[in-house]
Amino acid sequence: MNVFDIIGPVMVGPSSSHTAGAVRIGRIARFLLNEEPLNVRIVFHGSFAKTYKGHGTDRAILAGLLGMLPDDRRIKDSLTFANNMGMSYSFATADLGDVHPNTVLISLKGKSGRELEILGSSIGGGRIIINKINGLEVNFRGEGHTLVVFHNDMPGAVAAVTHILARGCINIAQMKVSRSCRGGKAIMIIETDQLIDNELMMSIRSINCVTFAVVVPSE
Amino acid sequence: MLTYDSVQELIEQATLSGKTIYQIVLEDQSIVLECPIEVLIEKMEKNLKVMEEAIDEGTTSMLKSASGLSGGDAFRLKRALNDGKTVGGTVLDNVLIKALALAETNACMGRIVAAPTAGSCGIIPAVLLTIQENRNIPRSRIVMSMFTAAGIGMVIARRASISGAEGGCQAECGSASAMAAAALVEMMGGTPEMAGHACAIALKTTLGLVCDPVAGLVEVPCIKRNAMGAANALVAADLALSGIKSVIPVDEVIDAMKSVGKLMHPSLKETAEAGLAATPTARKLASEIYCSSS
């Protein structure tokens, strides 16, 4: 958190948590899918579920999925943009359990058939947390550049990735690894001070145990 | 480096080095963000510019929100002030006009700066800009005092919450009012300790305020609560500038705000299920709004 998270962001109203934060969650989901989303299912929980229509949270999530930023004046027309792009979407409400009151579950299917499910919360003032990706706890805020590596749990996986980052003089601010079970599917979340370039990303993706890797750049 | 775990930390660090809160916050953020102080100031000045544009948008014409619930109040009050029909005086009324204008621009999906949230975006700029104009304070000082507000806001966000869904309106308009009061004290040359008392007083006087938006929209009563929060910041700043102290230390007040927020029933935390949102008129308005939009 820094001063511009508090006096900021510059955004289109009406709600920093229900509009700007929702755009941010959508935007991160778009980067994680790494391709144009074709089918989108959005489930709202708690205060999001009660008030999403009034706050334009539905339009905000879609705007983020379309790659818009929270200060984009086109946010209120995002449903039309999505329709024109042939994106199909649905909105529902549900009790998602013991989560933050402003939480949304987004299920995405992309052009190539790639699927992704993310659980995100808007925690006030436009700040957000991505709680889960494909059911795995990740808890990152996406405030800095965030490298997300989908991999198989095995010895040396973290070292292989961080070795490449070290080679590229990329400094790690924070990192976290979660896995479904020993030897199962795992996700590495690495927040970096510098943006990772394409060449390094190619190297990371070519690591044996890595199934996929993307960078969510800071806004 | 600062932890932003307590306002007391900010006061002590500033007092020890003979500086203001905004100076130590600026120096700290310059290191943390690896960014020269001048660039941070420039960025804050851009935020101030967006705030001024939003005030213009809200005062020069009769806005109307998509729901039809709000709009035009800043314009109405400005006209009444010009016609000599109000009693609050030029300073107070101009604060109220600006607060209403920002909050209405936000409700009409205009561009604003969250401070600390969009729902409470009118309070800090209304207070600082009005007093700056009234006292002919250099524009650079207002930008500086926004770093005071931000530093205080970071502590409140870390220690309690700035989200209405988590802590009610006391966490949004209450926090904004506390940040504005502290910033105003420093803009007027008050000590860091006075700024701390102003923060405590403003938060104390909004403690328990629930978040009960009609139809779940950031309009009723949010827009008028921005006017209230701005006026409350003037109250707190004047008390603190005169040397009046908060008996309860500022960090304990913030902790009290957090615990009140936790005790507050979920129906009163931005879910539009109780309070004003559950009145017969609010229910009728909500059903009209949702019928016409679907």
Question: How does pLDDT run across B152-184, given as a tens digit for each residue?
Answer: 999 999 999 999 989 999 999 999 999 999 999
Residue B161 sits in a domain of what CATH number? 1.10.4100
Q: Which residues of chain B make contact with A9, given a CB cutoff of 8 A?
A: 113-114
Question: How many domains does one find in chain B?
Answer: 1
CA distance B263 to chain A (A): 15
CA distance A198 to chain B (A): 24
Q: Are A7 and B44 an interchain contact pair (Cβ–Cβ within 8 Å)?
A: yes
Is B189 a member of any domain?
yes
What average pLDDT does the segment B3-25 reach? 98
**pLDDT grade for B291, boundaries at 50, 70 and 90:** low
Q: Are A1 and B154 an interchain contact pair (Cβ–Cβ within 8 Å)?
A: yes
pLDDT digits (tens, 9 = 90+) for B177-218: 999 999 999 999 999 999 999 999 999 999 999 999 998 889
ipTM of the complex: 0.96
CA distance B270 to chain A (A): 6
Q: Are A4 and B150 an interchain contact pair (Cβ–Cβ within 8 Å)?
A: yes
- How confident is the model at residue B195, as a pLDDT? 98
Helix (H) / strand (E) containing B188: none
Q: Please give the residue of chain B at the shortest CA–CA distance from A194.
A: B34
**Distance of alpha carbon B59 from alpha carbon B174, whole angstroms:** 24
* HSE of B160, CA atoms in CB hemisphere, 13 A: 33
What average pLDDT does the segment B258-262 reach? 98
Is B236 a member of any domain?
yes
Is B2 a member of any domain?
no
pLDDT digits (tens, 9 = 90+) for B17-53: 999 999 999 999 999 999 999 999 999 999 999 999 9
- How confident is the model at residue B270, as a pLDDT? 87
Q: Are A124 and B165 an interchain contact pair (Cβ–Cβ within 8 Å)?
A: yes
Q: Which residues of chain B make contact with A16, given a CB cutoff of 8 A?
A: 114, 116-119
Q: Which residues of chain B make contact with A75, given a CB cutoff of 8 A?
A: 109
- CATH numbers and ranges of domains, chain A: 3-140 (3.30.1330.90), 145-216 (3.30.70.260)
Q: Does A67 touch chain B (CB under 8 A)?
A: no
Q: Which residues of chain B make contact with A59, given a CB cutoff of 8 A?
A: none
Is B1 a member of any domain?
no
Is B197 a member of any domain?
yes
Report the predicted TM-score, pTM, of the whole model to 2 decimal places.
Answer: 0.82
> Shortest CB distance from A71 goes to which of B111, B161, B273?
B111
Q: Which residues of chain B make contact with A54, given a CB cutoff of 8 A?
A: 67, 213, 215-217, 272, 289
- How confident is the model at residue B292, as a pLDDT? 55
Beta bridge partners of A201: none
- How confident is the model at residue B293, as a pLDDT? 45
> Shortest CB distance from B109 goes to which of A8, A14, A16?
A14
- How confident is the model at residue A29, as a pLDDT? 98
What average pLDDT does the segment B238-253 reach? 98
pLDDT digits (tens, 9 = 90+) for B111-152: 999 999 999 999 999 999 999 999 999 999 999 999 999 999
**Distance of alpha carbon A80 from alpha carbon A94, whole angstroms:** 25
Q: Are B218 and A13 an interchain contact pair (Cβ–Cβ within 8 Å)?
A: yes
| Better-predicted residue by pLDDT, B64 or B181 | B181
Q: Does A13 touch chain B (CB under 8 A)?
A: yes
Q: Are B124 and A1 an interchain contact pair (Cβ–Cβ within 8 Å)?
A: no
Torsion of CA B147, B151, B153, B159, to 10 degrees: 180
> Shortest CB distance from B149 goes to which of A7, A12, A18?
A7
Write the CA distances from A123 to A172, A174, B158, integer angstroms: 24, 20, 11
Q: Does A70 touch chain B (CB under 8 A)?
A: no
Query: Which of A108, A142, A88 minimizes the C-alpha distance to A34?
Result: A108
Q: Is A2 helix (H, G, I), strand (E, B) or coil?
A: coil
pLDDT digits (tens, 9 = 90+) for B70-100: 999 999 999 999 999 999 999 999 999 999 9
pLDDT digits (tens, 9 = 90+) for B264-287: 999 999 888 999 999 999 999 998
Domain around B212: 7-293
Percentage of chain B lying above the pLDDT 70 cut = 99
pLDDT digits (tens, 9 = 90+) for A16-51: 888 999 999 999 999 999 999 999 999 999 889 888
**Distance of alpha carbon B267 from alpha carbon B274, whole angstroms:** 5
Is B11 a member of any domain?
yes
Write the CA distances from B52 to A4, A37, B31, integer angstroms: 17, 38, 29
**Distance of alpha carbon A211 from alpha carbon A204, whole angstroms:** 10
Pick out chain A residues at pLDDT < 50: none
Q: Does A183 touch chain B (CB under 8 A)?
A: no
Q: Which residues of chain B make contact with A12, given a CB cutoff of 8 A?
A: 109-112
Interface residue of A1, A7, A100 to substitute, partner B, most B CBs within 10 Å? A7
